[in-house]
Amino acid sequence: MDLLNTLVEKGLRRETPSREEALAVLATSDDELLDVVAAAGKVRRAWFGRRVKLNYLVNLKSGLCPEDCSYCSQRLGSKSGILKYTWLKPEQAAAAAGAGVAGGAKRVCLVASGRGPTDRDVDRVSQTIAAIKEEHQDVEICACLGLLSDGQAERLKGAGANAYNHNLNTSEATYGDITTTHTYADRVSTVQQAQAAGMSACSGLIAGMGESDEDLVDVVFSLRELDPDSVPVNFLIPIEGTPLAGDWNLTPQRCLRILAMVRFVCPDVEVRLAGGREIHLRTLQPLALNLANSIFLGDYLTTEGQSGKDDLAMIADAGFEVEGTDTTTLPAHRADAAAAAGAGCGGHGGEGGGCGPCGDAAPVDAAPVDAVPADAVPAQAAAGATVSAPAGTRESHAGLVAVRRRGAGTDLPPNA
């Protein structure tokens, strides 16, 4: 296809495709899908080889959020049966992070629900960063705490945070349909504050919320203009108890086309395969590694993911290799620019998997940690198995979603 040849050439030159070309990728047929994956894979390999960066989420504070993000199980009024707990102690967070590092994670993503951190919260996170880095000096730390106030980005940078995540999630035109308690502009401002403070910026999207092809292209072009080092691509996890629980709009083929479009628009950026990959890509997950160069290891914030050992097996079986701590993630031109701006090693990305707190901070110590006894967890989940069901009906789809009952906030070991 002339379109794909053109997009490959532009990607190798770091040239932005036209909106029409991006839309054409999303409009390709299933018969053309492998050609699309192969073309985008050429761009991915040119900038990132066959390396896959592993990232690990630690949910520092779960639930208790008064914002109204429609996709979020931690939102105001959520009926989801997720874990709810206030801030983990630094040593608890460090233990959770250590499990991810032991599983091969190069980056630890520290996430807390809330509109944005108080100054006391920044102190808490700073202490947590210090506790993690004391045990794992080389690990990258990304903070994801919501909207930042003046001076907070600089404080996090000074505490050792290498990166900051705040997702745009959807297009500016449709943002008000998803969230009403803060604005799209608020999110853009926070990403810019992180960049100004010298942290590596990460910002991405959530696909599958009923958006049009034009909306998807709009948000990805906005991300290209914002120029984060990392773009996590999340696929909506329709969790029961949220307004979007019935929104099963994605197919594996659609997900691959979205990832390919993101790769063509952001050719030299760390594209992360984030939340929802297991339930939407299903058996086509390995194909997505030809498009994304980064994934989350194990579980997400409030839902369970594929077992860590299965993630590693998938990477190896697909002919890829886990990126080591001695390798810089970003291509030299981006890494050098990041270093010049004070962002450190140039390997900094960000978070997905629903990472991107969406509400105001709950009162300090508002709720105890919900420690879940082992006998309350289904044996399948406790063993790290992925809950599966045949696709076809809303009920069978819903069976693919398993609420997290292990790891941070519980007495059970994490999945890493």
Q: Which residues are catalytic?
A: 65, 69, 72, 109, 142, 202, 272
Question: Cβ(404)–Cβ(300) under 8 Å?
Answer: yes
Q: What is each CA distance from 105 to 125, 323, 325, 345, in whole angstroms?
A: 20, 9, 9, 16
The β-bridge partners of 272 are 232, 294
The answer on whether 255 is annotated among ligand-binding residues is no
d(CA 219, CA 242): 23
Tracing tokens 């701006």 back to the chain, one arrives at 341
Question: Cβ(369)–Cβ(408) under 8 Å?
Answer: no
Residues in the chain, total: 416
Q: Where are the beta strands (DSSP E) in 183-318?
A: 200-202, 205-207, 230-235, 270-273, 294-296
The answer on whether 144 is annotated among ligand-binding residues is no
Q: What is each CA distance from 114 to 92, 220, 356, 395, in whole angstroms?
A: 20, 25, 9, 31
The answer on whether 202 is annotated among ligand-binding residues is yes
Alpha helices in 107-199 (DSSP H): 119-135, 152-159, 175-178, 184-196
The answer on whether 69 is annotated among ligand-binding residues is yes
* Residue 396 falls in which region: left (phi positive, over 0), alpha (psi -120 to 50) or beta: alpha
At position 399, the amino acid (one-letter code) is G
Measured in whole angstroms, the distance separating CA 263 from the mean position of its chain's CA atoms is 16
d(CA 82, CA 404): 7
The answer on whether 142 is annotated among ligand-binding residues is yes
Question: Cβ(58)–Cβ(96) under 8 Å?
Answer: yes
- Tokens representing residue 164 in the block: 């900051």
Nearest to 145 by CA among 208, 95, 202, 102: 202
At position 341, the amino acid (one-letter code) is A
> Residue 118 class from Cβ within 10 Å (0-12 exposed, 13-18 middle, 19+ buried)?
middle
The answer on whether 266 is annotated among ligand-binding residues is no
Question: Cβ(62)–Cβ(302) under 8 Å?
Answer: yes
User: Residues annotated in the binding site for [2Fe-2S] cluster, as ranges?
Assistant: 109, 142, 202, 272
Binding-site positions read 65, 69, 72, 109, 142, 202, 272
Binding-site sequence positions for [4Fe-4S] cluster: 65, 69, 72
